[in-house]
Amino acid sequence: MLAEYWPVLLFIGVATGLGLVLLAVGLLAGPRRPEAEKLAPYECGFEAFEDARMRFDVRYYLLAILFIIFDLEIAFLFPWAVVFQQIGVTALVEMAAFLLLLIVGFAYVWKKGALEWE
């Protein structure tokens, strides 16, 4: 029974070994030129200049949440497009309703000014 797991164990071993070898080669052969700019903390598009618990503008979070929502809704189109020829006209009407709802939501968000950045 253990012989059935041999290919899986071999794959895990080879993958681990290859990963370690590539890390070692990168550490040994890679350039090392530490500079102040390279070692400085960087996040969210600007340098950290205050305490880590500083306040962010709410619009940043709102824009991020809206991006995630619309991005996930668009992701529903890919599986539908793959099987479009097998599912027929009913699915076409349902996807049109879904896209109409998406466009109405996008227009509402745009009209409210949630996508504006001052």
The conformation of residue 5, written as its DSSP 8-state character, comes to: G
Strand partners, 46: 43
Tens of pLDDT, residue by residue, the chain (118 residues): 778 899 999 999 999 999 999 999 999 998 888 887 777 766 665 556 666 676 767 777 888 888 888 888 888 888 888 888 888 888 889 889 988 998 998 899 889 887 777 6
The whole-angstrom separation of Cα 55 and Cα 80 is 41
Beta strands in the chain (DSSP E): 42-43, 46-47
| Nearest alpha carbon to residue 43 among 60, 22, 23, 31 | 60
Among 56, 52, 74, CA closest to 64:
56
pLDDT digits (tens, 9 = 90+) for 1-35: 778 899 999 999 999 999 999 999 999 998 888 88
pTM for this prediction: 0.47
